[in-house]
Structure 1
Amino acid sequence: MKTLFRPASICAAVLVALMLSPARADEAATARAIIESQINAFLTDDQAAAYSHAAPSIKRIYPDEGRFFDMVKRGYQPVYRPGNYAFGRVKIAPDGSGVVQEVLIQGPDGQDWTALYSLERQPDGSFKINGVQMIKAAAPIT
Structure 2
Amino acid sequence: MIRLLKACACIVILMISMPLARAAEPVDTAQSIIQNQIEAFLNDDAETAYSFASPQIKGKFPDKTIFFDMVKRGYAPVYRPGNFAFGRSKVEGDTVVQEVLISGPDGKDWTALYFLVKQPDGTYKINGVQMLQQAPGPEI
Q: Same fold (TM over 0.5)?
A: yes
- Gap regions ≥5 residues in structure 2: 1-13
Paired residue for 2:108?
111
Amino acid at match of 1:23: R
1:4 alignment counterpart = none
TM (normalized to structure 2)?
A: 0.86
> What do residues 56-85 of structure 1 show as CA deviations (whole Å, max 9, x unaligned)?
000000000000000000000000000000
AA partner of residue 69 (structure 1):
F
Sequence identity percentage: 59
2:135 maps to a residue whose letter is: A
- Counterpart check, 1:125 vs 2:122: yes
C-alpha displacement of 1:24: 1.2
Q: Specify whether residues 19 and 131 from structure 1 end up closer, same or farther in structure 2 by C-alpha distance, changes over 3 A only.
A: same
Aligned-partner residue type, residue 124 of structure 2: F
For normalisation by structure 1, the TM-score amounts to 0.85
Tell me the C-alpha RMSD between the 2 structures. 1.6
Residue 59 of structure 1 aligns to a residue whose secondary structure is helix
Q: Provide the C-alpha distance between the structure 2 equivalents of 1:70 and 1:82, rounded to a whole number of angstroms.
A: 16
Provide the C-alpha distance between the structure 1 equivalents of 2:109 and 2:67, rounded to a whole number of angstroms: 23
- Structure 1 residue 140, shift from structure 2 partner: 2.2
Distance 1:63 1:120, change over 3 A: same
Which stretch of the first structure deviates more once superposed, 18-27 or 43-52?
18-27
**Which 4+ stretches in 1 moved above 3 angstroms?**
15-18
Structure 2 equivalent of residue 37 of structure 1 = 36
Task: Report the number of matched residues.
Answer: 127
The match for 2:6 is none
Q: Does 1:76 align with 2:40?
A: no
CA distance in structure 2 between the aligned counterparts of 1:140 and 1:35, rounded to whole angstroms = 26
> What does the per-residue CA deviation read over 1:25-67, in whole Å, with 9 as the maximum and x for residues that have no partner?
1111100000000000000000000000000000000000000
Aligned partner letter, 1:91: K
For the pair 1:135 / 2:136, whether they are aligned, the reply is no
